[in-house]
């Protein structure tokens, strides 16, 4: 089969399309013939850095195959697998954190990380509704309730555009930030208020926020603390260790700071399946690339201008 091998951390030129053996599956796994792959910011952030690669993938061995998000068709079923059969269309985030090996024509996945695709979903939309959607689901569940004032930074991005929809479905009042050109997109997702981050400082116009989803870190995280009420919550996706002064300020204000890393979870994938079937969650795929142009998909994500999701198709 064809797969992209990364022999060492570096630029997109280090992603080399190669011919390798199909993976053998173990008990509890299925072999998926890949139809679409979702590319995420984490993909492009780990690629250039050996230490980050080792941390996320859990291995120092090389070469590695990047990627975690897939949709496709079950080609083989391992022992002890009862939920899937050959020919089923499935989608999921495979082995995250860990070595997902998704940039390949065939992917071996634990059955517990997958769900069957909705009957009317495309492979492209299914692949889009994986890591980013799981992140939004796992972050918001149990932290946001009806009536909350919720601030979602970067609402036009992968996680953000799912989080707006989910928070609104939970009954929250949703405020989001993006550039002016993406305002209408964010509002159609269900946002109640929009702030153009280039023209307004959100920390100067917002107060009494119950929950903040921060996908940016740095000054965005620091300034978010200024708008959250006492007993409020901030989840930061990129910040796994909070500076002492920031943590002290949050403690003084009685604001909970959390880092959340998404985890592969088939039950949550089935929750997303139900949302897709009900029409309460709609992925937005703004750009697709053929498998042979996967490097270009990385460059697209690096631009920081992707609206919704970028998908590679096979």
Average pLDDT on 107-113 reads 98
| 254 lies in some domain | yes
| 268 lies in some domain | no
- What's the pLDDT band for 140 if we cut at 50, 70, 90? very high
Q: What's the chain's average pLDDT?
A: 97
Summarised one tens digit per residue, pLDDT across range 73-84 is 999 999 999 999
Summarised one tens digit per residue, pLDDT across range 212-259 is 999 999 999 999 999 999 999 999 999 999 999 999 999 999 999 999
Pair 146, 165 in one domain:
yes
Summarised one tens digit per residue, pLDDT across range 277-299 is 999 999 999 999 999 999 999 99
Look up the pTM and report it. Answer: 0.97
The pLDDT value given to residue 149: 98
Secondary structure of the chain in the HEC alphabet? CEEEEECCCCCHHHEEEEECCCCCCCCCEEEEEEEEEEECHHHHHHCCCHHHHHHHHCCCCCCECCCCEEEEEEEEECCCCCCCCCCCEEEEECCCCCCCCCCECEEEEEHHHEEECCCCCCHHHHHHCCHHHHHHHHHHCCCCCCCCEEEECCCCCHHHHHHHHHHHHCCCEEEEEECHHHHHHHHHHCCCEEEECCCCCHHHHCCCEEEEEECCCHHHHHHHCCCEEEEEEEEECCCCCCCHHHHHHHHHHCCEEEECCCCCCHHHHHHHHHHHHHCCCCCCEEEEEEHHHHHHHHHHHHCCCCCCEEEEEC
Domain that holds residue 42: 2-129+283-313
Work out the percent of the chain whose per-residue pLDDT is above 70. Answer: 100
- Domain harbouring 20, CATH code: 3.90.180.10
| 19 lies in some domain | yes
| 264 lies in some domain | no
**What is the domain count for the chain?**
2
The pLDDT value given to residue 54: 94
The pLDDT value given to residue 247: 97
| 219 lies in some domain | yes
- Domain harbouring 205, CATH code: 3.40.50.720
| 273 lies in some domain | no
| 253 lies in some domain | yes
């Amino acid at each position: 089969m064809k797969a992209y091998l990364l022999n060492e951390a570096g630029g997109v030129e280090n992603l080399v399309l190669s011919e390798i053996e199909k993976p053998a599956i173990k008990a509890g796994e299925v072999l998926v013939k890949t139809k679409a792959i979702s590319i995420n910011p984490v993909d492009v952030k780990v690629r250039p850095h050996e230490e980050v690669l080792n941390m996320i993938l859990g291995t120092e061995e090389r070469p590695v195959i990047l990627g975690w998000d897939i949709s496709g068709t079950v080609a083989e079923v391992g022992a002890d697998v009862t939920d899937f059969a050959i020919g089923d269309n499935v989608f999921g985030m495979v082995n995250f954190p860990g070595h997902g090996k998704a940039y390949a024509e065939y992917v071996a996945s634990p059955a517990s990380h997958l769900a069957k695709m909705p009957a009317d979903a495309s492979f492209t939309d299914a692949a889009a509704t994986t890591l980013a959607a799981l992140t939004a689901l796992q972050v918001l569940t149990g932290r946001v309730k009806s009536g909350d004032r919720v601030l979602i930074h970067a609402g036009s991005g992968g996680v953000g555009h799912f989080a707006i929809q989910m928070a609104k479905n939970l009954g929250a009042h949703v405020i989001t930030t993006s550039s002016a050109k993406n305002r209408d997109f964010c509002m159609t997702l269900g946002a109640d208020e929009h702030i153009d981050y280039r023209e307004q400082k959100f920390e100067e116009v917002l107060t009494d926020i119950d929950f903040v989803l921060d996908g940016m870190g740095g000054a965005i995280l620091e300034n978010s603390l200024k708008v959250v009420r006492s007993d409020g919550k901030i989840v930061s996706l990129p910040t796994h260790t909070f500076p002492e002064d920031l943590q002290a300020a949050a403690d003084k204000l009685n604001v909970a700071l959390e880092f959340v890393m998404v985890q592969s979870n088939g039950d949550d994938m089935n929750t997303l399946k139900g949302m897709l079937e009900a029409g309460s969650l709609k992925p937005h795929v703004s750009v697709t690339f053929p498998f042979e142009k996967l490097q270009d998909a990385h460059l697209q994500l690096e631009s920081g201008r992707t609206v919704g999701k970028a998908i590679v198709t096979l």
